[in-house]
Amino acid sequence: MTGDVKGSIHLFRAKSFIKTVKAHQDCINCIEQSSDARLFVLGKNPYIKIFDSVNLELLDQIKIPCLSMCSKILRADLNIVLGFSGLNCVVYDYKRECEVIKCETKGGARPIAFS
């Protein structure tokens, strides 16, 4: 599975191309597969789009209300996403719908990795 700067995801199996789907309007920031074969795709917007990883059908989309951009997801099964809002970096639990951590970054040096 790959994502590109135009917002599409591409499915490959055994080194062969299978399918392309437009997932977001902008660059794909993160792709994470859950243990139940769902694919979580984050772009430069506040949505997590969830696809079936076998045929790339859209199953659901979750809008994260406090974010302007989703950046990374910490294991899809844990429901935790890293994103940004204004000058703040936010770690958000999308199942419980609450901020876990919020810290000011002053708009520069935004973290792109977390664990």
pTM for this model (two decimals): 0.84
Q: How far apart are the C-alpha atoms of 16 and 12, rounded to whole Å?
A: 5
Up-side HSE of residue 82: CA atoms within 13 Å toward CB? 16
pLDDT in tens, 102-111: 988 876 666 6
Q: Is the pLDDT of residue 64 over 80?
A: yes
The residue to which tokens 């984050």 are assigned: 42
15-55 pLDDT per residue, tens: 888 899 999 998 998 999 988 889 999 988 999 999 998 88
Residue 98: pLDDT above 90?
yes
Q: Which CATH number fits domain 2-104: 3.30.70.2190, 2.60.120.10, 3.30.365.10, 2.130.10.10?
A: 2.130.10.10
